[in-house]
Amino acid sequence: MSLRTGVQIAVALEPIINPHNLKVLGWWCNPRGGRDRLVLLAEDVRELMPQGLAVNDDDVLSSTEDLVRHREILNIKFQLIDKTVRTKSQKLGRVSDFSYNEGMFVQKLYVARPVTKIFSSQDTLLIDRTQILEVTDNYILVRDAEVKEAAKEMAVPAGAVISSN
């Protein structure tokens, strides 16, 4: 939404995440009027609201050609949602959601457990960014010991969220 005109200028489709540091660079957007997808950089967002993202005006939407400094990250097209999360010894599940802090760094991963694991433990794991060891095209590797310790320390009913903090 444009703060200057008070109207919706685009629809944010999905976040653009730098896989090297898990920072939200911005969002892919469909502008009103059906033009090609544009990019809204996180630094141009004035306010995050429940209704959406507030920006000054539609001139903050950029084409990929204009963002030379970010071209490498834009071309990677990294997807965090549905990325496999694993330890060195086992597959934990897939990223179903994530949260980020004020600096736009991914802070927590919400990992949906496979159906076979739901019956024996929690249906969602909460992984802090400090537990992440490696991010690849195919999976996210997390510390094995912390996941096991969190599961052992907490007696939690199915459906609850586990955190190692």
Q: What mean pLDDT value characterizes the chain? A: 84
pLDDT value of residue 15: 95
Share of the chain above pLDDT 90, in %: 65
Question: Is the same domain home to 152 and 93?
Answer: yes
Q: What angle do CA 84, 87, 88 make, to 5 degrees?
A: 120
Instruction: Please identify, among 76, 98, 118, the residue that sits at the C-terminal boundary of a domain.
Output: 76
Under a CB-based contact definition with an 8 Å cutoff, are residues 156 and 162 in contact?
yes
User: Domain of 148?
Assistant: 84-162
Q: Which of 34, 40, 31, 33 is nearest to 64 (CA)?
A: 40
pTM: predicted TM-score of the whole model, two decimal places: 0.77
Question: Is the same domain home to 90 and 138?
Answer: yes
Pull the structure tokens for residue 3: 């703060």
In-domain check, residue 3: no
> Is pLDDT at 63 greater than 90 in this prediction?
yes
Query: What average pLDDT does range 101-108 have in this prediction?
Result: 94
| Residues 113-130: tens digit of each pLDDT | 876 555 555 678 999 999
Question: Is the same domain home to 139 and 118?
Answer: yes
